[in-house]
Amino acid sequence: MSVFRQPGTVLTDHTFSVPLDHDDPAGERIEVYAREVVAAGRERDDLPWLLFLQGGPGGKAGRPMGRDSWLNRALDDYRVLLLDQRGTGRSAPANRQTLPVRGDAKAQAEYLAHFRADSIVRDAELIRNELLGKGNKWSVLGQSFGGFCTLTYLSFAPEGLNEAFITGGLAGLRSSAEDVYRAAYPRVERKNDAYYERYPQDVAVVRRIARHLAENEVRLPAGGRLTVEAFQALGTLLGSAAGPHSLHYLVEEAFVEGVAGPELSDTFLTGAQAHLSFSGGPLYAVMHESIYGQRSVSPACTGWAAEAVRADFPRCDASAALATDAPVLFTGEMIYPWMFSTDPALAPLAETARLLALREDWPDLYDPRRLAVNEVPVAAAIYHDDMYVDTADSVETARAVRGMRTWVTNEYEHDGLRVGGGKVLDRLIALVRGQV
């Protein structure tokens, strides 16, 4: 166990051995890592614990640089545990380099079937008992997918929780993957409309980039192919506070004049790659749609739901837009099967991802009956017109969880916890404590 200091904080590394399959505790075990953070000078204080569950899936916990972002507010009251969820960061990482050790694609898919919210919560319970001792509870803060995991925690292990905070992560309890994406495309269209209203000059620029990609094979610096569809996937930026501005600054430097005429600049290609490559978090793509699989909602496979329903939203068809004078729309956080041929980090995992997409009868992740009698104090921030999580689903879920207090706001986008400087967490703490 190593301990080190940063400005205003003391950090301690922890590693834990947990079963790969919690239903087979005597079977294979994997390592899970977490970082404890406490305010400097309070290392020996008897502080309550706050478990942080990162967004994703496949996202490692943030790497703090002292008392930054929401952590500054949390450290006033808590000893914080930043969990690298299984398969991420320093927790038995799962990627193109490590997964082949498991065997063929079928073996890899079977392994990854244990990497959803239900397993993450059961990891957390083992860690709680080891760190705090049996019978001692902690609080949980879930951001985005971490909020999904928090709902799973409230469904299956509420006895471990003092209180729960959720930001941008109230999933539809009865929404299938197809339901999720049918609701998502109209939200993405609205974000595009707002983007082009702010930056009308980008309509022509984006059309020019899309036309160039349609007529030329373009490679990103690391070798990935930048197709029209891949370019459209930059729309994931539109769901964050600064994202639309970042997208504008990216496309405004798209072209330079080369020997053979206009070509896409290295500046643009490097910037696009930074947002499109899954090399730092491949599980986000591989596992994405499986987080919506629940046998009681639909025993069928998730089946590349984002791709399956895309044709029902013709405004997302770049070729149709280029055939007229319509703006080319960006897509959002949707994951498509073609990504596993264009991204070198994903290409070796294509068959594994296909098998997960075809997997049926996923176990349920939520228990509506138990949530209806919930006794854990819980508060949630719902971001109005959140591009990533459907507001209507969030509101319906909030009504289904007994005692949940909500704050619906358009002051922040999906990343409000990170950019709000502690204000979002402070509001949720006040809600749980009945101070507002």
pLDDT in tens, 207-247: 999 999 999 999 999 999 999 999 999 999 999 999 999 99
Pick from 111, 127, 115: which is nearest to 85 by CA?
Answer: 115
Q: Which of 240, 414, 415, 426 is catalytic?
A: 414
Sheet of strand 9-19: strand arrangement:
3-6, 9-19, 29-39, 79-84, 49-53, 138-143, 161-167, 378-383, 405-409
pLDDT tens string 113-123? 999 999 999 99
- pLDDT tens for residues 331-357? 999 999 999 999 999 999 999 999 999
Per the document, the length of the chain is: 436
Q: What's residue 377's pLDDT?
A: 98
2 part of the active site: no
Considering 69, 144, 240, 298, which one is annotated as catalytic? 144
Give me the phi and psi of 5, to 5 degrees please: -120, 145
pLDDT, tens digit (0-9, with 9 covering 90-100), for 8-39: 999 999 999 999 999 999 999 999 999 999 99
Q: Has 144 been annotated as catalytic? A: yes
| 255 beta partners | 264
Q: Which of 24, 319, 361, 384 is catalytic?
A: 361
Beta-bridge mates of residue 288: none
For 243, the enclosing helix (H) or strand (E) is: helix 243-251
pLDDT exceeds 80 at position 1: no
Name the DSSP letter for residue 62: P
User: What is the pLDDT averaged over residues 280-306?
Assistant: 96
C-alpha of 361 from chain center: 23
> Is 341 an annotated catalytic residue?
no
Domains and their CATH numbers in the chain:
3-101+116-173+366-432 (3.40.50.1820), 177-358 (no CATH)
CA 291 and chain centroid, separation? 10
pLDDT tens readout for residues 61-75? 999 999 999 999 999
